[in-house]
Amino acid sequence: MGTLNADNLSSVTSEQISDQDLNTYYQKAKASNVSDAQIEQLLRARGMAVGEIGKIMQRLKGLGGIANLTVNAKPDTKQNNTTRKQAPTKEILAEVELDSLEQMIYGMELFTNPSLSFEPDLQIATPLDYVVGPGDVLSVIIYGQSEASYNLKVSPEGNVFIQNAGIINVNGLTIAEADQKIRAHLAKTIYRAINSGFTQVKTTLGGIRTIKVIVIGQARKPGVYSVSSFTTLFNLLYTCGGPSKNGSFRNIEVIRAGKRIAVADLYQFLHNGSTKANIRLTENDVVKINYYDKRIYLKGAFKRPGIYELTANENLQQTIDYAGGFIDSAYREQVRITEVAGKQKEIKTVVASNFNGFKPATGSTIEAEYVYARFKNRISAEGAFKRAGTYSVESASSLLKLVQLADGLREGAFTEKISISRLNAD
């Protein structure tokens, strides 16, 4: 099914939109005082075909959305001007447009798509670098010459207690370090056969604790979260809804004990599949989503038109790469850029050879045009040809060759005269 909130509606048809989605879209627009004509403009701006827009508007009438209009209807002169519904202001239209554009922010679909989930996997083997803390349960298995098992809950002080062996502090140790410490302690106390190798010890994580982490800054749902100790940065970002419309996807900090220990750039994951920044969180970690610094809007003949966040050193070619490049019917030789220049806007044309050297300014709109619907070498054979149609100049360099390519003339064709229309002077 399609959606009217998509960034590119050029391939969306009326039949792909459900009645429920259509009605929801219309009600949201009406709540912001957007007129029917302005709805049509928004759909057209996103590339929807004129015929499909007409079908959409007709369906809205059938659903009872659009009021039945009477041509040349006279205005109600009795209506009090103070109670008339005011036309939407430019600010309201800009807000509606921004709500729609929010869905065009590259990466936002990770957090708004209900079919995606980034819940932590609790069924995996315990990572050797997992740090033990209060609330964890350690499973200690003794096997070989002696056999026993213990489920040891880590106390608030970070200790575990084994009967006849005493207290062992494991707080802050990795699971591998805790295994070694417990083995050494048991070898000195109640399981001395460990030293000879006749008895073995294996320590694993039997139960995970809950930790509290904090999300601040430009998150959709900032706050304090209680999560499992297996939670990673990406898990938490999904839980908090990800960055807001003003939040950065490229400057997300993880702060531990007052020090910044990591900075995540989600574009590395979105574009390259890298999970290097997806670190495991610990108690009282702070995740700060900063404001974005630089954004541009790609529109037109790109594979994924939308809003992209750039770092200070990224150029136009890298921006186009984030969008997947040009579509097949794009004019690739240049793009048109609209920038904010003080109190006015400025238009620039950047040719393909300069894409790598041009750095777009924040707030820029970059538009790629489509190739013209015209041909440089087309000959049209029309009328009484057996195979009327279009042919290349190279294959039909003379009138005789064109007739031969078209399989000759039909029976009854008037052969005394032929009309030739030439668009080019040559």
Q: The CATH number of the domain where 141 resides is what?
A: 3.30.1950.10
Query: How many structural domains is the chain composed of?
Result: 5
Stated pTM of the model: 0.65
Statement to judge: residues 164 and 229 lie in one domain: no
**Closest of 52, 60, 51, 58 to residue 25, by C-alpha:** 60
Q: Determine, yes or no, domain membership for 404.
A: yes
Residue 69: band (very low, low, confident or very high) from pLDDT cuts 50, 70, 90: very low
Statement to judge: residues 167 and 254 lie in one domain: no
Q: Determine, yes or no, domain membership for 232.
A: yes
Statement to judge: residues 188 and 228 lie in one domain: no
Q: The CATH number of the domain where 282 resides is what?
A: 3.10.560.10
Statement to judge: residues 357 and 388 lie in one domain: no
Three-class SS state of 177: helix
Q: What is the pLDDT of the chain when averaged over all its residues? A: 84
Q: Determine, yes or no, domain membership for 120.
A: no
Q: b or e along 176-199 (b: 16 or more beta carbons within 10 Å of the residue's beta carbon)?
A: ebbbebbbebbbeebbeebeeeeb
Point out the domain boundary residue: 259, 290, 321. 290
Statement to judge: residues 59 and 34 lie in one domain: yes
pLDDT tens figures, 386-421: 999 998 888 888 888 988 898 999 988 888 888 888
Residue 322: band (very low, low, confident or very high) from pLDDT cuts 50, 70, 90: very high
Task: Please indicate whether residue 100 or residue 137 has the higher confidence score (pLDDT).
Answer: 137
Q: Determine, yes or no, domain membership for 114.
A: no
Statement to judge: residues 10 and 98 lie in one domain: yes
Q: Which domain holds residue 172?
A: 137-207
- Strand locations in 272-383 (E): 286-291, 295-300, 306-309, 334-341, 344-351, 365-368, 378-381
Statement to judge: residues 174 and 263 lie in one domain: no
**Cα 319 to Cα 39, 45, 331, distances in angstroms:** 29, 21, 17
Point out the domain boundary residue: 368, 383, 418. 368
**Encoded amino acid at 377, one letter:** N
Q: Determine, yes or no, domain membership for 236.
A: yes
Statement to judge: residues 284 and 215 lie in one domain: yes
Give residue 121's pLDDT: 64
Residue 298: band (very low, low, confident or very high) from pLDDT cuts 50, 70, 90: very high
- In whole angstroms, give the CA distance from residue 10 to residue 232: 38
Give residue 78's pLDDT: 47
Statement to judge: residues 96 and 2 lie in one domain: yes
What are the residues whose beta carbons fall under 8 Å from the beta carbon of 328, sequence distance 6 or more? none
What is the pLDDT averaged over residues 291-306? 93
Point out the domain boundary residue: 226, 257, 290. 290
User: What phi and psi, each to the nearest 5 degrees, are found at residue 340?
Assistant: -85, 120
Statement to judge: residues 17 and 96 lie in one domain: yes
Statement to judge: residues 1 and 97 lie in one domain: yes
What is the pLDDT averaged over residues 175-184? 94
Give residue 123's pLDDT: 63
pLDDT tens figures, 353-374: 999 999 999 999 999 999 887 7
- How many angstroms separate the first and last alpha carbons of the chain? 50
pLDDT tens figures, 20-68: 888 888 887 777 667 777 777 777 767 777 778 878 887 877 665 543 3
Statement to judge: residues 305 and 283 lie in one domain: no
Give long-range contacts, CB 8 A cutoff, 24+ apart: 52-58. 52/9, 52/12, 52/13, 52/14, 55/13, 55/14, 56/4, 56/14, 56/17, 56/22
Q: Determine, yes or no, domain membership for 75.
A: no
Q: Determine, yes or no, domain membership for 122.
A: no
